[in-house]
């Protein structure tokens, strides 16, 4: 499965810790991420991660993949303490997950539930419904 990893600046270290803890499960899947988050996770875990552009460009590239239903799980650690009212990319990420029935985690609690469900095979239905390109 293809797992997208995105984290706001205040949540990048938490994402690194999460991916380090679940490295064994994540290593069985294709990982993509925005550039800075992907770099930090890859350096900490040794996981191969396809990284997209820095800044707004990477989120837009992942949005495009979501639009084409080419992402199976989104781990998007948002910063609820310092919300950005103009976080259009964040809202679009969540909207496209809803449109394409992509499981999404916006915090570590739901990320853990999703990653454990992924390991059990509870999300295998995504492979049936996702066209292979």
Domain positions in the chain are: 2-124
pLDDT one-digit tens code per residue, 98-131: 999 999 999 999 999 999 999 999 998 887 655 5
- State the Cα–Cα distance between residues 49 and 25, nearest whole angstrom: 14
**CB atoms inside a 10 Å sphere around CB 98:** 10
Residue 85 has pLDDT above 60, yes or no: no
> Per-residue confidence at 10, pLDDT binned at 50, 70, 90?
very high
> Per-residue confidence at 3, pLDDT binned at 50, 70, 90?
very high
Residue, of 19 and 88, whose pLDDT is higher:
19
- Residues 6, 34 contacting (CB under 8 angstroms): yes
CATH number of 2-124: 3.40.50.1380
**Per-residue b or e along 111-122, where b marks 16 or more CB atoms closer than 10 Å to that residue's CB:** beebbeebeeee
**CB atoms inside a 10 Å sphere around CB 132:** 5
Residue 133 has pLDDT above 70, yes or no: no
3-state secondary structure of 40: helix
- Tell me the pTM: 0.89
pLDDT one-digit tens code per residue, 33-77: 999 999 999 999 999 999 998 766 888 899 999 999 999 999 999
- Residues 57, 63 contacting (CB under 8 angstroms): no
> Per-residue confidence at 89, pLDDT binned at 50, 70, 90?
confident
């Amino acid at each position: 499965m293809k797992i997208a990893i995105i984290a706001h600046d205040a949540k990048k270290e938490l994402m690194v810790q999460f991916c380090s803890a679940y490295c064994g499960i994540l290593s069985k899947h294709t990982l993509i991420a925005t550039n800075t988050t992907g770099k930090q996770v890859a350096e900490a875990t040794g996981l191969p991660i396809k990284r997209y552009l820095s800044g707004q460009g990477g989120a837009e590239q992942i949005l495009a993949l979501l639009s084409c239903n080419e992402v199976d799980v989104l781990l998007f650690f948002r910063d609820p303490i310092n919300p950005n009212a103009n976080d259009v990319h964040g809202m679009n990420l969540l909207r496209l997950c809803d449109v394409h029935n992509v499981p999404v985690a916006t915090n570590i609690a739901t990320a853990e539930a999703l990653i454990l469900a992924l390991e059990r095979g509870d999300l295998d239905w995504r492979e049936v419904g996702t066209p292979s390109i």
